[in-house]
Amino acid sequence: MRGFPNAGFWSTGVHFRELSGWIGGPMPLFKRKPFSLLEPPKDLDSKEKVFQIRFTREIFRDYQDYINRLNLYRQRVWSCKISGKSNLTFEEALVSEHHAVSKAQKLPTELMAPVLRMIQYSTLGLYELVEKIYASLQEAVFEGLELYAKQDGLEAACRILKILGSDGTKMYEVGWLLRDKTIISTSVIKGEDLIHRRPPVSRNTLKIFIRDATSQNAPWVIHENLAKRYGIPIEPLNDMMFGEGLQKKGRKRREDGPMGDPKKKMKNDEEHINVPIKYPIDDLLVQPSADDHALLKRPPLATDFRVPKYSVGDLLMVWDFCLSFGRVLNLSPFSLVDLENAICHKESNALLVEIHTAIFHLLIKDEGDYFTILRTKKRKLKVTLVTWAEYLCDFLEMTKTEELTRNIATVRKGYYSLIDTDIKLKILRELVEEAITTSPVREKLSERVDQRQALAATKRESTRKAKDEQNSSIDGLQDDNESVDEQGKGKEEKDKNNISRSKTEGKRHGVQHLETEIEKLSIRSSPLGKDRHYNRYWFFRREGRLFVESADTKEWGYYSTKEELDVLMSSLNVKGIRERALKRQLDKLYSKISNALEKRSKEITHKLLLEEAVLRRSTRVRAQPRDNPSMSFLKYVNKWKDN
């Protein structure tokens, strides 16, 4: 018997208690049905030799019974009860369940009770229940939660330390975090300053948690010990969905048969349909209706980025910062496309060198941690296009981030351009995050905040005056028309009214000009809004594309034509809270966004014509690579450089 696979000798005189629980946790399903393990043979002698299956601890006296059982476990007829994966062997299903349980345990302790309450006795299907819980957690706030909040006009990482109440207004004591999660300072902020990017857990984690935490699913019933631990009611509710209790519901099924009384069911359904719903509601709760035929299908997103899709957010952040604070950095503007091409280029190029050098000079001027490191190493405080790589290595050492520091040797050897694209962007993101904390940037932010407030006050006053003059003009027009009919002095009075109207229109143009100036002083780009599934929509005034970021920030795409914008807006369902707010914002900025999209389309057409011309010329004369518009970043010259 020795040497048989998965077999083992087991002495019956020891470890009987270990077999009482057999395998802890959920059991794999056999052909999607529950499966029970065999109980130990009775009257086993302590000296008796038996066969045992390693991963179930089942015991067999007869070798053939043992082999038959083992062969059954090796067949791909098993599925993981928690994740739903099928076509597995028994042992693979066990491993899958172990991994799934580990994921489910990632649910924060603070969320256990509220999530379990939403699960208990719910009659929703799994995916509907996941979406309901996910939507409710989107705005969840609890002590210990790490998220972002507004600090001096910028987004900064923080941790909720305490939830406070002030005259019915939610206030939060937060700790501001460094990259290593160390709290550097604390402050009290309003709830409106919190930035919810995504719920604290993913949909997949919720799905696994629901399956792991429940013993049945029609309705969902959580394990009794789990319910007692978190104070969840274990008695069925008196009223279930649509007012029917569990016992009442079961009794009706027994009396009326599996399908019940069709007439009664139809009557109940009609009553539920006629219950009025007050919109807007959470987007995920909006059900399809007859008037949804007017909604168009959402257009597909373009995803032809040169950088990895998960790095697009870093690309946009770096570009937006460099253009917003170009004067502080002494760095002249460049296009997003030029930055993307420069990042992906496998040779050294002036644009990337100038960006790094400009940020290094800013950090040196601030005399912070980076400045101290340079002084310790006795570096010169003037970074040049030749020595910039040395200063980059110093910065990478300062980050103490393994993913970045392991590239130091490559940079020192002069092979920076060969570093992976996503790592280049992560380095630039680290530089930008460090630059945001410097005094020159914060002073510029403060200055812009003051300017925006002053312009906003002027705009409010101009708007008020324009409305007053418009009302006066309307009243005067009515009086003057009566005067014309009576006295025949029409022409002179009409001229006066036209002058009055011209003045009012001039005031309106003044307000529009103020709006433009306020927008120019925007501190940092913010998303326009979110759609049904929490995807965020971004528009940058210097870039003719409407970007879309997935809820988990891992995927990006964009729309680039006016036609796509129109279809997108026609696909938004205003019955949902998020899509209503997004459509309102798109309506407000429609002219600006559509003009930017059309302008970019024309520029691309012109660029393609130039590339064709270069291609035709290259067949006659050897054209220089720099002549190609897609290589325009190679011609970049920093016109704002401080020499």
Domain ranges of the chain: 29-103, 107-230, 279-302+525-642, 311-437
Q: Which residues of 364-386 are buried (b: 16+ CB within 10 A; e: fewer)?
A: bebeeebeebbeeeebeeebeee
What's the gap between Cα 283 and its chain centre? 16
User: H or E element: which one contains 254?
Assistant: helix 246-256
Cβ(354)–Cβ(641) below 8 Å: yes
Which stretch of DSSP H or E encloses residue 190? strand 183-190
Whether 464 has a pLDDT exceeding 90, the answer reads no
pLDDT at 418: 92
* Residue 553 falls in which region: left (phi positive, over 0), alpha (psi -120 to 50) or beta: left
In degrees and rounded to multiples of 5, residue 184 shows phi and psi of -100, -25
pLDDT in tens, 283-293: 888 887 776 66
- Return the percent helix, strand and coil in the chain, to nearest 5: 55, 10, 35
What pLDDT sits at residue 243? 34
Q: Is pLDDT of 13 > 50?
A: no
The answer to whether 36 touches 71, Cβ cutoff 8 Å, is no
Alpha helices per DSSP H over 541-589:
562-571, 577-588
Lowest mean pLDDT among 320-334, 517-531, 618-632: 618-632
pLDDT digits (tens, 9 = 90+) for 481-502: 555 554 555 555 555 555 555 5
Instruction: Report the C-alpha gap between 137 and 174 in whole angstroms.
Output: 19
Over range 62-75, report the average pLDDT.
88
Q: Is 576 helix (H, G, I), strand (E, B) or coil?
A: strand
pLDDT at residue number 513: 58
Q: Which of 73-87, 158-172, 445-459, 607-621 has the lowest mean pLDDT?
A: 607-621
Average pLDDT estimate for 114-140: 86
Distance, CA of 22 to CA of 52 (rounded, Å): 12
* CA nearest to 585, candidates 602, 605, 569, 561: 569
Q: Which is nearest to 13 in space by CA: 46, 48, 60, 59?
A: 46
Confidence of residue 250 (pLDDT cuts 50, 70, 90): very low
Q: Is the dihedral of CA 405, 406, 410, 412 positive or negative?
A: positive
8 Å CB contact between 134 and 126: no
Query: Which of 379, 378, 318, 380 lies closest to 354, judged by CA?
Result: 318
The predicted pLDDT at position 240 comes to 42
Distance CA 367, CA 439 (A): 9
Q: Find tokens 């270990």 and name the residue.
A: 18
Model confidence at 394: pLDDT above 90:
yes
C-alpha distances (whole Å) from 311 to each of 256, 407, 422, 536 are 59, 18, 6, 16
- pLDDT of the residue at 625: 54
Tokens standing for 150? 């507004």
Q: Which residues contact 156 (CB under 8 A, 6 or more apart)?
A: 148, 149, 150, 176, 177
Residue labelled with tokens 């519901």 = 249
Sequence length of the chain is: 643
Average pLDDT for residues 453-479, to the nearest whole number? 72
User: What does each C-alpha distance from 163 to 140, 142, 156, 166, 334 come to in angstroms?
Assistant: 12, 7, 18, 10, 44
Q: What percent of the chain is predicted at pLDDT more than 90?
A: 34
Are residues 566 and 593 in contact, defined by beta-carbon separation less than 8 angstroms? no
Percent of the chain with pLDDT over 70: 76
**pLDDT interval class at 24 (50, 70, 90):** very low
The residue with greater pLDDT, 150 or 608, is: 150
Per mean pLDDT, which range of 87-91, 611-615, 632-636 is the poorest? 611-615
496-548 residue pLDDT tens = 555 555 555 555 655 565 555 545 545 557 889 999 988 999 999 889 999 99
Q: Which of 60-64, 164-168, 497-501 has the lowest mean pLDDT?
A: 497-501
At residue 619, the pLDDT reads 58
Q: CA dist 139 to 127, 158, 193, 285, 584, Å? A: 20, 16, 12, 16, 21
pLDDT category at 14 given cuts 50, 70, 90 is very low
Determine the angle formed by the axes of helices 312-324 and 350-366, rounding to 10 degrees. 60
Give the three-state DSSP class for 169.
strand
- Highest mean pLDDT out of 35-49, 280-294, 492-506, 573-587: 573-587
Q: What is the CATH number of domain 107-230?
A: 2.30.30.140
d(CA 131, CA 347): 47
How far apart (Å, rounded) are the C-alpha atoms in residues 248 and 112?
A: 30
Distance CA 22, CA 39 (A): 9
Give the pLDDT score at 511.
52
- How far is Cα 391 from Cα 103, in angstroms, rounded to an integer? 41
- Coil, helix or strand for 126? helix
On average, the pLDDT of the chain sits at 79
Q: How is residue 510 written in tokens?
A: 């003044």
Tens-digit pLDDT profile for residues 251-284: 444 444 444 454 454 455 444 445 567 888 888 8
**Residues 550-585 as b or e (16 or more Cβ within 10 Å = b):** bbeeebbbbbbbbebbeebeebbbebbbbbbbbbeb
71-123 pLDDT per residue, tens:
899 888 888 876 677 888 998 888 877 776 665 566 777 788 889 989 988 88
193-205: per-residue pLDDT in tens?
888 777 778 887 8
Q: Of residues 620 and 443, which shows the higher confidence score?
A: 443
- Could you tell me which residues come within 8 angstroms of residue 637 by beta carbon, excluding any fewer than 6 positions away? 332, 350
Which tokens sit at 447? 């200055």
| Residue 313 pLDDT grade (very low, low, confident, very high; cuts 50, 70, 90) | very high
| Residue among 537, 522, 359, 536 nearest 452 (CA) | 522
pLDDT of 227-247, one tens digit each?
A: 888 888 887 655 443 333 333
Q: Pull the structure tokens for residue 201.
A: 């857990």
The pLDDT value recorded for residue 3 is: 34
**Number of neighbours of residue 43 by Cβ within 10 angstroms:** 6
What is the rounded average pLDDT of the residues 356-360? 97
Query: Quick one: tokens of 357?
Result: 């050098």
State both tokens at 9.
């000798």
Q: Which stretches within 76-219 are classed as H helix? A: 90-104, 109-119, 126-137, 203-213
What is the C-alpha separation between 394 and 373, in angstroms, rounded? Answer: 8
Per-residue confidence band for 174, with pLDDT thresholds at 50, 70 and 90? very high
Task: Tell whether the model's pLDDT for residue 378 goes beyond 70.
Answer: yes
